[in-house]
Structure 1
Amino acid sequence: MSTTVLTELFARPGRGDDVAALLLEILHESLAHQDCETIRIIRDQDDPDHVAGLTQWTERQDYTGYLGWRTARGFTGTFEAMLTRPLVISYYDELFAGQGIAAVRESGAGRRPQ
């Protein structure tokens, strides 16, 4: 079963753009990392200095290995210099995933001919 990981980054005031830009810059390497299934970069609508990565990995150990690889390459330190506190990392098992009517309507699936 896949592991969903929420990694929260709380940027210093005004540094949310920098944190988001760095996450997007390294995105292609992250997606190419072994056992990475999906990545979403999200930002708090009420606090632009609160940025997060919502990722899915084959197993929890795959993310911890990836984080170790990023740390060894200096990226964790680069992020931490822009943050007010250490990364907040939470691991989740998925219990359910589904699409609501708005997603189905947007994709055109399930539309009736007129």
Structure 2
Amino acid sequence: MTTIVHFEIQLDPAKLADASEILSETLAATRAWPGNEGLEVLVSDDDPAHMIVVEKWASTIDHTRYVEWRATPEGGGGRIRELLAAPPTTRVFSEQLPLTLAE
């Protein structure tokens, strides 16, 4: 079952100039991880240092394995930690609510 992950980050405003390069570098490894079906970075209209990385995974297991890898010295979380003003928040969504739309 497809899993959607919201990885919410608050960057240090003083480091925004470096954000694009570092995020691209870090998220390239995320995109390449087995089971990742894509991602996008959304930037808040009110605060350009507030972003949500929306990730699509083939399964929750694929995402869990990715998170476990990021916690290793090899995975290391990339350079994104250099940018953060606060700890990130991760929300995982794997269950869908079936909706019936009225015609």
Q: Which residue identity lines up with residue 78 of structure 1 in the other structure?
A: R
Q: Which residue identity lines up with residue 64 of structure 2 in the other structure?
A: T
Q: What TM-score does the superposition give when structure 1 sets the normalisation length?
A: 0.68
User: Larger Rg: 1 or 2?
Assistant: 1
1:82 CA drift (Å) = 2.3
Count of residues in correspondence between the two structures: 96
In the alignment, the residues of structure 2 paired with residue 80 and residue 26 of structure 1 have an alpha-carbon distance, to the nearest angstrom, of 10
In the alignment, the residues of structure 2 paired with residue 75 and residue 17 of structure 1 have an alpha-carbon distance, to the nearest angstrom, of 22
Q: Which residue identity lines up with residue 16 of structure 1 in the other structure?
A: L
In the alignment, the residues of structure 1 paired with residue 70 and residue 97 of structure 2 have an alpha-carbon distance, to the nearest angstrom, of 29
In the alignment, the residues of structure 2 paired with residue 42 and residue 75 of structure 1 have an alpha-carbon distance, to the nearest angstrom, of 23
Instruction: Map Cα deviations across residues 82-106 of structure 1 (whole Å, 9 max, x no partner).
Output: 212211000113447xxxxxxxxxx
Pair 48,71 (structure 1): closer, same or farther in 2 beyond 3 Å:
same
Secondary structure in 2 matching 1:65: helix
Q: Does 1:84 align with 2:61?
A: no
Q: What TM-score does the superposition give when structure 2 sets the normalisation length?
A: 0.74
In the alignment, structure 2 segments of 5+ residues that lack a partner are 99-103
Pair 80,26 (structure 1): closer, same or farther in 2 beyond 3 Å:
closer
The residue aligned with 2:25 is 25
Secondary structure in 1 matching 2:18: helix
- Matched-pair identity in %: 27
The residue aligned with 2:66 is 66
In the alignment, structure 1 segments of 5+ residues that lack a partner are 97-114
Q: Does 1:15 align with 2:15?
A: yes
Which structure has the higher relative contact order (CA within 8 Å, separation 6+)? 2
Instruction: Map Cα deviations across residues 36-87 of structure 1 (whole Å, 9 max, x no partner).
Output: 1111122112111112210011122211221222232354273233212211
In the alignment, the residues of structure 2 paired with residue 61 and residue 83 of structure 1 have an alpha-carbon distance, to the nearest angstrom, of 26
Q: Which residue identity lines up with residue 6 of structure 2 in the other structure?
A: L
